[in-house]
Structure formats: structure tokens, C-alpha cells
Amino acid sequence: MAKGPILFDLEEDTAPRPSVADAPPVPEVGMPAPKGQAMQIAARLAARKPSKLVKLFWWLLTTLIGALVSISAWNFVTGLMASYPLIGLAMSILIGALLLVLALLCLRELAAFSRLARLDGLHHDVGQALSQDDLKAARSVTDRLTALYQGREDTRWGRDRLAELRSDQLDAHGLLSLVEAELLGPLDIAASREVEAAARQVATVTALVPLALADVAAALTSNLRMIRRVAEIYGGRSGFFGSWRLTRVVLSHMVATGAVAVGDDMLEPILGGTILAKVSRRFGEGLVNGALTARVGVAAMEVCRPMPFSQARKPKVRSIIKRALSGLFGKGTQDGV
């Protein structure tokens, strides 16, 4: 038996060795991809319609409480008038002032609903003029749009340009395209900025506040404020009930079309192929909630705008998301985080 070292001939391994840097990121066990849960819950809460039985309950409860308060106030004031006439007179004046303010608030809400109905009517009439290519109808709706923004300083330059150039337009599409570019163009930019600000706020709160349901509350309040601001920009300033109704219309449309069911498949083409795999779970939820807020904002712009968007000027959801959310992680991605 031979003793000593034994030499084995091995085939030379020419295959390149894999690098650790090329390895895919390790997935988080038991942690699903972020889906914007806060925005989905807030959207469904706002879009949900109460049943007729619930409406009847609240109507009866409000009526009963109003009757009890009125009777108690009447007995209280008449008792004071009998015992202390001056104090009773003062309380009567205070209650009268309160009722006057309440009546003014009701009138303001009715005016808000009227403004929203006016925008909706203009939106419908512009669509009719475009579909029928009716120049006379287009000129009429142009006059109404100009009157809508007559007292606003931020539309003065656009109104002057429109008055200067409108006589050169000989068809409905050309005239309404001019209206969209000169009169509504600056308003579109302002509305987009409001949407971007709301998306950043929702994303930041979701990422930084770990309290339960705090992200849902922040998403709901931010979207309510954003929709109200978008309506104000387009001339549909609304009150409390008008804002809530408008929010329900926008979010109901999004829930019905499935626009709130979106995740990193929408964000990856915008923010980078594997960006959501490189950030924390909480930050990923913030990005998705911010993206969904941007979608709500674009839907609000389409609902509140007094004329439909042309294909060339329709806001791109991805562009708004990129401008709104890129600053939240731009530094981190450059540093390799």
C-alpha cells in the first residue's frame, strides 16, 4: 500500500463566482408588502352609505333633542323673566343671537351646495358643447366660466388673454381649449400643488406616527381638507356638509372602480425598481398611503373642475406622486439606504 500524498485531478472551474452584492434582498418573514391600509380604511369609511334605518334613527334623535332643548330653554327664560326681568331679557337676546348665527350657518351651507351644483352644471354643459361641436353653446358656457371667476385676482391675466383671443376661435373645440389653457391652467397648477402637499403629509404621518388608528385619522382629515381646498380653487368653496358630501362622491367613485386597491406595483415604476424592498415596513406604508392620497386628489380635481380635462392636459397620477413623494426618500436612496 503506497504511502504519502495522493494527487487527484479536478476539472478547472471556469464558472464565475456569484457576488454578495448581487444577491436579492432577504424578504421580511411574515411581513406582507405595504398596501396603504390606512387610506383604504379611510376611503371605505367615508364612502360607506348609512342605511335608511340609521338615517331615521339620527333624524328622530336630532328632533327629540332639539325639542327637549327648545322646551328647556323656553322654561328657563320665562322663569328668569318672571323672577329677574333684566337677566331674562339678556338671556333672550343671547338665545336669539345664537339662533340667528345658526340660521346664517344654514344659509352658508345652502350656498355651498349651490356653488357645487353650479360647477357640476358647467361641467355637463361643456361636455355637451364639445360632443355636439356647438360653437354657440361653447360661447355661452365660456361667458359663464368667465363670470364664475370674475372677481378673482389670480384669474385676471387669463381672463384678459381669453377676451383678447376668443374672437379668433371659429369652432367649439378651439374656443374651449383656449378657455382650458388660459383660464383654468393656473388653477390646475394650484390644485396639483394642494394634492402634492396632502400626499406628503399623509405619507409623513403614516411613516413617523406609530399610534394605532392615528394614520387612519390623519389620512381622513388630510383628504377632507385637500378635497375642500381643491373645490375652493375651482370656485366651489363648500361648508362642512358640502365638503363631506363631496368627499363621499369622490371616494365612492374610487372604491367602485377599485382605485384604492393599489400597492407597490404602482410605486415601483416611479420610485425605483426595488425601493419598497429597501425601506422599512412603516415607511413603505407611508409611501403607499401618500400615493393613494394623490389618486384621491386627481379624482377630486376631475369632479370639482367646471369643465372636463382634455387628453393633453389631464393630470398624470404618477407625475404627481413622483413630485410629492420623491423628497421623502431621495437622500436616502442616494446614500444607499
Which pLDDT score is estimated for 329?
52
- Tell me whether residue 14 is in a domain: no
Q: Long-range CB contacts (< 8 A, 24+ apart) of 204-211?
A: 204/286, 204/328, 205/286, 206/38, 206/282, 206/285, 206/286, 206/289, 206/290, 207/282, 207/283, 207/285, 207/286, 207/287, 207/328, 208/286, 210/282
Mean pLDDT throughout 158-165?
87
25 falls within a domain: no
Q: How confident is the model at residue 112 (pLDDT cuts 50, 70, 90)?
A: confident
Range of the domain at 298: 185-325
Residue-wise pLDDT tens digits, 25-60: 554 444 455 555 555 565 565 556 666 787 788 888
User: In this structure, is residue 222 part of a structural domain?
Assistant: yes
Domain annotation covers residue 151: no
Query: How do residues 73-109 score in pLDDT, each as one tens digit?
Result: 888 888 888 888 888 888 888 888 988 998 998 888 8
- Between 169 and 136, the more confident residue is 136
Banded pLDDT at 327 (limits 50, 70, 90): low
Rounded to the nearest 10 degrees, the angle between the axes of helix 172-182 and helix 85-132 is: 140
- pLDDT (tens digit, 9 = 90+) per residue, 274-291? 455 455 666 777 777 788
Q: Tell me, yes or no, whether 111 lies in a domain.
A: no
Let me know if residue 291 belongs to a domain: yes
Is the separation of the CB atoms in 286 and 206 below 8 Å? yes
Any domain includes 297: yes
Task: Classify residue 105: in a domain, yes or no.
Answer: no
Model pTM score: 0.69
Please list, in sequence order, all residues whose beta carbon lies within 8 angstroms of the beta carbon of residue 191, skipping any fewer than 6 positions away. 229, 230, 233, 234, 297, 301, 304
Tell me, what's the pLDDT at 333?
Answer: 39
CA 260 – CA 6 distance, rounded (Å): 69
Check whether 8 has a pLDDT greater than 70: no
Looking at residue 100, its pLDDT comes to 93
pLDDT in tens, 179-214: 888 888 889 999 999 998 888 888 888 777 766 677
* Structural contact between residues 260 and 40, judged by C-beta atoms closer than 8 angstroms: yes
The total number of structural domains in the chain stands at 1
Q: Give me the pLDDT at residue 154, please.
A: 83
Q: Please say whether the beta carbons of 119 and 238 come within 8 A.
A: no
pLDDT at 11 over 70: no
> Average pLDDT in the 156-180 region?
87
Is residue 321 within 8 A of residue 199, CB to CB? The reply is: yes
Which pLDDT band, with edges at 50, 70 and 90, does 15 fall under?
A: low
